[in-house]
Structure 1
Amino acid sequence: MGSGAGDRGWAERRPVLFLFLLSLFCPAAPSEQIRYRIPEELPEGSVVGNLAKDLGLSVRELPTRKLRISSEKPYFSVSSERGELLVSSRVDRERLCGKKPACALEFEAVAENPLNFYHVNVEIEDINDHTPKFMQNSFELQISESTKPEARFILGSAHDADIGTNSLQNYQLSPNDHFILVNKEKLDGSKYPELVLKMPLDREEQKSYHLTLTASDCGDPPLSSTAQIQILVSDANDNPPVFSQELYRVSLLENVSPGTTVLQVMATDQDEGVNAEITFSFTESGQITQFDLNSDTGEITIRNTLDFEKIKEYSIVLEARDGGGMIAQCTVEIEVLDVNDNVPEVIFQSLPGLIMEDTRIGTYIALLKIRDEDSGHNGEVICKLEGDVPFKLLTSSRNTYKLVTAGILDREQTPEYNVTVTATDKGKPPLSSSSSITLHIGDVNDNVPGFEEASYVVHVAENNPPGASIAQVSASDPDLGPNGRVSYSIVASDLEPRALSSYVSVSAQSGVVFAQRAFDHEQLRAFELTLQARDQGSPALSANVSLRVLVGDRNDNAPRVLYPALGPDGSALFDTVPRAAQPGYLVTKVVAVDADSGHNAWLSYHVLQASEPGLFSLGLRTGEVRTARALGERDAARQRLLVAVRDGGQPPLSATATLHLVFADSLQEALPDFSDRAEPSDPQAELQFYLVVALALISVLFLLAVILAVALRLRRSSSPAAWGCLQPGLCVKSGPVVLPSYNEGTLPYSYNLHVAHAGKTEFNFLKCNEQLSSGQDMLCAESSGALFPFCNSSESTSHQQAPPNTDWRFSQAQRPGTSGSQNGDETGTWPNNQFDTEMLQAMILASASEAADGSSTLGGGAGTMGLSARYGPQFTLQHVPDYRQNVYIPGSNATLTNAAGKRDGKAPASGNGNKKKSGKKEKK
């Protein structure tokens, strides 16, 4: 294409664009159409127009709006910098539209963020880029000399693919004397030449003529082509063939099968003989490929299948020639009728990769184009969605639909949708097709982690190994990726915040709860944690659950005897019994406690040794010592009982207590008897004494070895301060040396064994409640209720053993004794230390056991739980804490009673129940 043609095309485009200035200056709505006009064959990169400006988009919006062209064939593109519509490939009007007078390309311009599209119409102008061409380079005519002037002869026509003024406009004949040329026009507007005889021919003068036929258009510049005409003058054939019709019209359905007869033309010739023999032929046989012609009969049949979508009409010129060479022509026009033989096609455009589940209703998802090559009702298509999906189709324009959301999306319920669009035309019968796409739903952090249980309860036995797993919580989150990745933490607890980390921890990944220390049921029986499961979404979502940890009890605490106890000076106490005591008389009661719970704290009392077997009985559950028979004349006035207290654990733990009982009617009578009379030697007690001495010697040797090792190690040190405690005169031991034996899981009480010599060896229990100063060593060991001396006293005789603190002991008015022997303060005083409290609790425990057995003999007034008559008026209910919560009494639902009553059914003798310390220590 020359530059002149290009300039002319642009010049013609400017007036057309001027007509649309108002629409170009206004922002284009999705339903409006942007129109441009360009000449064909523009070079690639040519600017059609500023599409962004015509759509009302600024240059700054272009990167985010992502303006582009949606078309099946990319004839155009959009400049990303300026938004101009550019030619991207060759535009050939003849190939696109053929002979149509108007040729336009329609497509959609798509803009995103938000998604929208605009209709664009680009009209293609024809340029004179095709030269008129004849199908044959030469034509041969035979004209009889007898042909009269004004006879007409149809010549072969030329074809020009252009339209309008650029198409074939006229034919010209080279100058001659006998022939002239007449331009004729067919019904379809095409032109063809007719040769007209101007003067009669004379074969004798000239046998042939050579003429030049020129076909030209009116383009700028005009184009033309030529064909040679050779005319042979023959002998006279006076009558040419004549067709029955000059124009034949017929209509055919496009689905007719090959071999079907279209029509049969008829021609006659008035001549005779050879001059009357007519043969039929196509004038342009090379162009006719769909039909066959019987040259003898003039019957036209279908050779190949017709297709309305390709060619809608055929125009065929037939020629009838007689034997003398005279010809006649007629035109056959065949119209192809459309049949609904094309299935609608659904084309998805602008499909997203993911649709987020929080997408709002009415959001554009995709653009659908429907294509049906049929025409009329056969090409009208209706689309619908199959199935129950949260989407719907909106009609945008003819054969264009929008797919939008019509419901709430939830990825956890439906992660993807298989959307099927069915397109059905209006033909008879209708044809339909379906096209499916899969829309994937993107995840949003819209689900809170959920625990498997509403709350957790975990039972953990005490003394567990530190670091052991005690529980595991599990939470699930149906979201994906970080939105569903759960981590665990402890957010609250009923423990002290500072101590929480030393008790438990939780694995952030697995939810396993670990014990950071060994639990002690006696210190901590239960605690509650609040665990949180938190996902890693943005923003993060979390849920809490409570975890209650119940610490189970183990039998790790031996029973502890609270009564009988040692006196303030370390001497043994004794109980007096009236000589006239009848069988069943309540002499005293062994009071013991166990820090454990349940069966582990269920105590039983057993007699291990008795000076006079059969004289006393011991309550199995109450610990009450009663007379089994009356005192005989041969029975000693001084009796000794060794009682074992066992708990119900597996294996059971035990402790022992020694009771000193004196039969006397008065305190003055009991004291000389207790100090002067000596009991017969007990071989087993002597053996026990020797074992204690042996263990003491071994302990002394062990302590000496330890002290020696420490001294050697300190000697290596350069600091003289390390020898400060070994220098003479600086470290003075006072009292017995005791090593604390407190271990985790046991009550923090320990004892030492004090041995005094006053005629008899006696084991006394002392409370290790004094803080040791630097340099002191103390060892308190417990074995079956008896404690053995492992402590070395100072070698200096000037330092005597300090008496134990008396602030934790009962006063004389508070010390348990026989009924009616106390004259304490009626108002009562609360015990001033923990040990006194535990003694009181043990007494209440014994009373509870007595009530459960139904054999309680403790009498008292109301409000004292039956204790004031036996143990003094200060033991009132308001002064005694309830210790029954640690005790489980199987097979009994009895409760404590405060009914008053006598213990033995009769008043005891005066002076009974007074407890005195032995004036001299007994020896074994």
Structure 2
Amino acid sequence: MPERLAETIVALWTPLIILWITLPTCVYMAPMNQAYTLSTGSPLELGRQSEELRILNRSKRGWVWNQMFVLEEFSGPEPILVGRLHTDLDPGSKKIKYILSGDGAGTIFQINDITGDIHAIKRLDREEKAEYTLTAQAVDWETNKPLEPPSEFIIKVQDINDNAPEFLNGPYHATVPEMSILGTSVTNVTATDADDPVYGNSAKLVYSILEGQPYFSIEPETAIIKTALPNMDREAKEEYLVVIQAKDMGGHSGGLSGTTTLTVTLTDVNDNPPKFAQSLYHFSVPEDVVLGTAIGRVKANDQDIGENAQSSYDIIDGDGTALFEITSDAQAQDGVIRLRKPLDFETKKSYTLKVEAANIHIDPRFSGRGPFKDTATVKIVVEDADEPPVFSSPTYLLEVHENAALNSVIGQVTARDPDITSSPIRFSIDRHTDLERQFNINADDGKITLATPLDRELSVWHNITIIATEIRNHSQISRVPVAIKVLDVNDNAPEFAAEYEAFLCENGKPGQVIQTVSAMDKDDPKNGHYFLYSLLPEMVNNPNFTIKKNEDNSLSILAKHNGFNRQKQEVYLLPIVISDSGNPPLSSTSTLTIRVCGCSNDGVVQSCNVEAYVLPIGLSMGALIAILACIILLLVIVVLFVTLRRHKNEPLIIKDDEDVRENIIRYDDEGGGEEDTEAFDIATLQNPDGINGFLPHDRRGLLRGIPENDA
């Protein structure tokens, strides 16, 4: 009966087992209407294809047989096995030769003409070429005649995350109106990643702001930058620097990142009214002044700029409204008072005007702050015919290089006496406007010379006032403002923009960026700063660190290797030479301090002092507790051993012989005999201290009064 049951089971299950074994082969070969079988040779790819085949078998779908895969940037001591060509006509007699042609055949891919094994003999880069189309053919070894038609297949290069995101259009510049509401869109930036956007997350970018909070925020997915604070005031701060990072792998740890800078400039809105610098202005005018001549200027300052600072001036009241007019100078943003009708000193010697300055462009959002206008009083005194000197220009603008030699002529002012008698003119400098006495003027011809050295980095502009005085009448004087602009020369070497201190993890990776530094130069070249970075000649072959110039004019310091040990060396000093692009160029050497630190696995600095002890990787807290418990247990055993040894060496004291005899008599008493003595210890009665001490097991020594000694 058992034998018949077994035969029945075998008969039922044998066909099912055969079907299960042959079904994958059938599914695998079904779509291959060719004479070749292609299989990948990489263990990783073979495993993946087996898994794909298992899934395809389960879902009853055909397998794309004419593709092979090879991982990019993979290199080793031996060529990489990509796959194998095999024809059903090959009985293993080595009479068939395999031939490979197409993209990279012979140069990138090499075939064993006997076995059909295809190897990659060069490292591949998917970003250069993603796939290769090749043709396989089997020919007779002796006659070279084709045994089968050529078969075309593709070798695809699989992507790895070997490209960091790049901002191709950076650095960026954007503007946003001041006083904007929270969340106002500023701009958006875009980074590109050369990795495959389809395979994995190598090209999935997440954006973040490294510098620029709390003023701006960024959408992680779309990289849209928005204002994070409302009502930012341009008059308080006009420009912001935002550092933006794009990180691939969806922003997860291990991804590569790239950064760029965005300079955000707040554009002006009309949120400030004009304001006169003084409430009362005094002017004097000769009675014979030509009509239309400018008598004086009044100015209402406005913290806004551009058209928002433009003001119109009007005479709104006074006893000279018919004689005088005021016009707006859009260039200087001031009001010019001019004479409309002739004056008569003998008739009226002074006039009073009330002038108003009002903004031209009003922003309705800020109209509730009050009227965007201001008023001032102007008093005009009419003088007799003796007129003061008149300068050839109402203002002078002079330029001088900061390295100009002392006593060199900067420029010249000229003035004349409009009177018929034409008195000679003497020139002088109003020392209230030149307290440091940096300039001198020739009293006769008005030539201005340099008295002390200039430094553009300390002061770009010097505003002085030149006085012209008639020699025949010292009361007849005129003043003219002279603005002197100091032009830059390359007289300052570049240096680090800040006191940098870098931190290097002991478990860091080769090529890891330790620190990014930037330079500053007090000079102001016309075409902007461009810095060159280099190591000292003796540090060019530095075994520990190297440098890399960034597109944003900064410098990255990279580690050349891993395995730094702060127990051996805690601090490294890296001198860096910084040169500018001036003519002639200047350079300086700044030293970067690099501290070796203990870090967690994710790169967070934990300790940077050499005394700190870093737990070895792999030693868990449980193992440390177990070791500590063993040490404590060992100490307890040692203490107990010493204590017991001390008690054993101390003799038990028996007070008198009668007690011994009494105990002996009790021992011989009828009863349990030795069982009673074991149950009731006589030595305990004679030595009460033994209750808590060590009791010897040999009572014969106790009865004899002889203490037991250690062997």
Q: Do these two structures clear the TM 0.5 threshold for a shared fold by scoring above it?
A: no
TM-score normalised by length of structure 2: 0.41
